[in-house]
C-alpha cells in the first residue's frame, strides 16, 4: 500500500478571482498495491461548489494515468509486502482516518503556506491528522510541519519538469529527489 499527494496543474482563469493564477490542485491518493503501477487508485480531495467558499468531499476510485492535468505524486508513506488480513486492515485504517476530515473550512487550523482554506490546506490538515494517529511520521528532513507545504510545492515543480519523461506520470518521495517510473517500480 502507498499513500501520497497527487498534484494537478491548473491553468489560470482570469474570470475566477480564486484561481486567477496557475496553481496546483492537491489530493490525497492511495493504492492498495505495492506499486503505483496498479490500475486503481483511491483519490481523496475537496472541491469548491460553484466557485464559492463552500467545499464538498470527493472520494473516488480511478486510474490516474487518464487525467492530463496530473503532474505526478509525492509519496509520503509506503507499506510494501503486507499480506492479508494486515493489508486490508491498513487500507481500512487509512481510509477511516481520511474520511474523518470535513471539507468545511477550519478557521482554527494554521500552517505556513496556503492562504485560507484550500485543497492544499485540507490535504495538509489530513496528513498531519494521519501523523497524529500513527499512520506515518513527518520525516526529520522536512523538519517542522510548517515546512510541509513548501516541500510538497517544490516537489510539484520538479514533477512539472519531469512531465512527459516518465510514462505515464512521475513519482517523487517526500524526502528524496529519487524518481521512478510508475510502470517499473515495485
SS in 3 state form for 118-151? Answer: CHHHHHHHHHHHHHHCCCCCCCCCCCCHHHHHHH
Dihedral angle computed from the Cα positions of residues 134, 74, 79 and 45, in that order, rounded to the nearest 10 degrees: 60
Q: Percent of the chain scored above 70 by pLDDT?
A: 89
Query: Is residue 149 pLDDT above 90, yes or no?
Result: yes
Report the C-alpha gap between 64 and 73 in whole angstroms. 10
The confidence band for 169, taking pLDDT boundaries of 50, 70 and 90, is confident
The model's pTM is: 0.87
Contacts of 124 (CB under 8 A, 6+ apart): 111, 113, 114, 145, 148, 149
The confidence band for 176, taking pLDDT boundaries of 50, 70 and 90, is low
Domain boundaries, the chain: 2-173
Query: Is residue 174 pLDDT above 90, yes or no?
Result: yes
**What's the average model confidence in pLDDT over 168-180?**
72
pLDDT in tens, 10-24: 887 676 666 667 889
pLDDT in tens, 24-33: 999 999 998 8
Residue 98 three-state SS: helix
The confidence band for 182, taking pLDDT boundaries of 50, 70 and 90, is very low
**What's the average model confidence in pLDDT over 56-80?**
87
Query: Is residue 143 pLDDT above 90, yes or no?
Result: no
The confidence band for 181, taking pLDDT boundaries of 50, 70 and 90, is very low
Higher pLDDT, 103 or 100: 100
**What's the average model confidence in pLDDT over 25-43?**
88
Higher pLDDT, 159 or 59: 159
Determine if the peptide bond prior to 168 is cis (ω within 30°).
yes
Determine if the peptide bond prior to 85 is cis (ω within 30°).
yes
126 closest CA partner among 152, 94, 156: 94
**What's the average model confidence in pLDDT over 125-141?**
91
Amino acid at each position: 500500500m502507498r499513500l501520497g499527494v497527487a498534484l494537478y496543474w491548473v491553468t489560470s482563469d482570469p474570470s475566477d478571482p480564486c484561481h486567477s493564477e496557475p496553481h496546483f490542485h492537491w489530493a490525497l491518493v492511495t493504492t492498495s498495491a505495492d506499486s503505483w503501477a496498479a490500475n486503481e487508485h483511491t483519490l481523496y480531495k475537496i472541491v469548491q461548489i460553484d466557485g464559492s467558499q463552500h467545499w464538498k468531499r470527493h472520494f473516488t476510485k480511478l486510474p490516474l494515468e487518464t487525467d492530463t492535468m496530473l503532474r505526478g505524486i509525492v509519496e509520503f508513506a509506503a507499506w510494501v509486502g503486507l499480506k492479508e488480513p494486515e493489508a486490508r486492515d491498513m487500507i481500512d485504517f487509512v481510509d477511516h482516518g481520511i474520511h474523518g476530515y470535513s471539507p468545511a473550512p477550519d478557521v482554527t487550523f494554521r500552517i505556513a503556506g496556503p492562504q485560507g482554506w484550500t485543497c492544499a490546506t485540507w490535504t495538509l490538515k489530513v496528513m498531519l491528522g494521519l501523523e497524529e494517529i500513527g499512520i506515518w511520521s513527518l520525516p526529520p528532513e522536512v523538519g517542522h510541519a510548517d515546512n510541509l507545504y513548501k516541500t510538497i510545492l517544490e516537489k510539484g515543480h520538479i514533477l512539472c519538469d519531469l512531465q512527459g519523461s516518465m510514462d505515464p506520470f512521475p513519482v517523487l518521495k517526500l524526502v528524496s529527489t529519487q524518481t521512478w517510473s510508475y510502470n517499473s517500480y515495485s
